[in-house]
Structure 1
Amino acid sequence: MERPEKQHFEWWHHSHPTFAGITGFFAGMLFVTALPGAFIGILRLLFSYETASSLFPLVLIALVLPITMLVKRKTRRFAQFMFIGMVVTALATLGVASLVLYFMAGT
């Protein structure tokens, strides 16, 4: 029985048309949720609370990455879905937070 020299994963179809969409969407979700949390966590480990909270807006510099990916033709589709994932996650988070505040404070 011959074994192929180059063994690749059958389930990992990176050339599939939906691969960029799915990975971009979930990358956008992680970008909105995990990146700010990790950033403030690292800042809080390195600096005092006041300094960390004043440096937190620097997390917006991370938006350079998806904007740069939008410019480059090869990564544009991925970046478009990444922005969709970012917007949907932000809207869902803000919607749930507003409903929780409404029900907790309003009634």
Structure 2
Amino acid sequence: MSDADEAEVAAPRETDDQRSRRPDWFHRGHPVFFPLAGFFTGMVSIIVVPGLYAAIIKWIAGYKRVEELFPFVLLLLVVPIGLLVPHHTRRFGRYMLLGMVATAVVVGGVAVAVGWFLYQKDA
């Protein structure tokens, strides 16, 4: 018997039953990783990118130019929409868009609630 044959006999082969016990995500990572990463990427991007964009434009071109160029920050929405097109990134893009929309709704809702509270207090 050769060394290769002895190694094959010594190490039992994996059966189909043993392979089926592994979870589906065994080689692709945890199933919650991409949804969480996408959601928090969307949340951070909707908060950080507009402020950073305005600060950089103000530093380079001045305050007047920031007012003219600030609507271009809406191009940030192209990123998750672009991620929805390829099948490989669709799940991440969907959760990134959800994170952006949820953050915008929460920030808008809090702003309306604070404005309403301040208006009622002065009245």
With normalisation by structure 1, the TM-score equals 0.83
Deviation at 1:20, TM superposition (A): 0.5
Match of 2:36 among 16, 22, 28: 22
Work out the percentage of aligned pairs sharing the same amino acid: 40
The aligned residue for residue 4 of structure 1 is none
Count of residue pairs the alignment pairs up: 95
The equivalent position to 2:68 in structure 1, one of 54, 76, 91, is 54
Alignment RMSD, CA only? 1.5
- Alignment TM-score, normalising by the size of structure 2: 0.73
Q: Which has the higher contact order (CA 8 A, sep 6+)?
A: 1
Amino acid at match of 2:111: A
Indicate whether 1:63 and 2:77 are aligned.
Answer: yes
Structure 1 residue 100 corresponds to structure 2 residue 118: no
Distance 1:100 1:62 in 2: 27
Structure 1 runs not aligned, ≥5 long? 1-13
Matches within 5 A, 1:5-44: 15-44=29-58
Larger gyration radius, structure 1 or structure 2: 2
List 4+ stretches of structure 1 deviating above 4 A.
Answer: none
